[in-house]
Amino acid sequence: MLRVVVLGAAAGGGVPQWNCGCPVCRQARDGHSELASTQASIAISADGEHWYLINASPDLRQQLIATPQLHPKAGQLRHSPISGVILTNGEIDAVAGLLSMREGSPFTIYAHAKVLSILKANSIFNVLNEKNVRRQPIEVDEAFEPALPDGSPCGIEVLPFAVAGKAAWYLEGAVHPGGADAAGDTLGLRLRDKATGKYLYFLAACAEVTDDLKARLAGATLIFFDGTVWRDDELIRAGLGNKTGQGMGHIAMSGDHGAIESLAGLDIGRKVFLHINNSNPALLRDSDERKIAERAGWQIPADGTEITL
Ligand SMILES: [Zn+2]
């Protein structure tokens, strides 16, 4: 049985975002705490005892406090159920949480060489001593099985694959420490329970649903999918910024070639949006956008939601 906990469902900035007065952020501060959400990350486990984080958000400390499954075992002076962190990109909202895991407990970071090159080029990540925190390169289209602390396999097969996306925002116009080749900056993951054969997909960033991606996702038990914006130009229209969703490497939920339309009719068991920006009106429970998403079979999860498959 695969257990999945949604640690956070929001895009960068979270809900509410520290400097944002948009309708969603205002309501989240003002009596609607159900709208509050931390930055996107999930935790998965095949045995309920050892867990792997998919991305480490800047809100990780708060997420771990709120998640009993990830607390140290009773009676142990130093312990964490977290055996590894699998990174799907090098954005701040995927890697900054690593800095909150610097107190000497061993775990392994699994990431593409391009993302590992970013960690290596930023000496602040040296607080994660490589004696304790191993950095394991992963390859596109090469399945691997993370190891438990005793070296035995964890029971979850992870298949990383390339997804249309962009290098981290802070590298725009800069020289990428991992080279100019775009491959490896944005990964999707298939996570398969080896005992049952059931699998889920994780795509927190995706700029385009290609035919190849549709073929992959068809028939999946569960997908977590990029829900950053409702419409491509929503930040500009709301006066919140000058970037489009596409400009940030994210497909919109709505519209022609949006996620809802592109992934309709693919026989996917459960469809969950993740990495939802606070500008996205689908966050509001009584909005037309939320109703459209739900009618199309999509869910917007609350932090702490546990799903088993
Ligand atoms: Zn806002």
pLDDT given for residue 259 in this prediction: 97
pLDDT given for residue 144 in this prediction: 98
Q: Which residue has the higher pLDDT, 13 or 174?
A: 13
Q: What is the mean pLDDT of residues 161-172?
A: 81
pLDDT given for residue 174 in this prediction: 78
Asked if the model's pLDDT at residue 273 lies above 90, the reply is yes
Structure tokens at 52: 């792997």
Q: What percent of the chain has pLDDT over 90?
A: 84
120-166 per-position pLDDT tens digit: 999 999 999 989 999 999 999 999 999 999 999 999 999 999 998 77
Return the residue matching tokens 């939601």: 305
Sheet containing 133-138, strands listed edge to edge, beginning at the edge strand earlier in sequence:
133-138, 107-112, 82-86, 51-54, 41-45, 3-8, 306-308
CA of 240 to the centre of ligand 1 (A): 8
Q: What is the mean pLDDT of residues 197-215?
A: 94
pTM equals: 0.95
CA of 16 to the centre of ligand 1 (A): 6
The set of residues, in sequence order, having a beta carbon less than 8 Å from that of 261 and lying 6+ positions away, is 254, 255
Give the pLDDT band (50/70/90) at residue 195: very high
Average pLDDT along the chain:
94
CA of 263 to the centre of ligand 1 (A): 27
Considering only CA atoms, give the Rg of the chain. 18
Give the pLDDT band (50/70/90) at residue 179: confident
220-229 per-position pLDDT tens digit: 999 999 999 9
Among 235, 217, 218, 205, smallest CA distance to 87 is for 205
CA of 222 to the centre of ligand 1 (A): 28
- Cα 125-168-245 angle, rounded to 5 deg: 145
The set of residues, in sequence order, having a beta carbon less than 8 Å from that of 269 and lying 6+ positions away, is 220, 221, 222
pLDDT given for residue 266 in this prediction: 96
- Cα 236-30-91 angle, rounded to 5 deg: 45
CA of 182 to the centre of ligand 1 (A): 30
pLDDT given for residue 249 in this prediction: 85
Give the pLDDT band (50/70/90) at residue 182: low
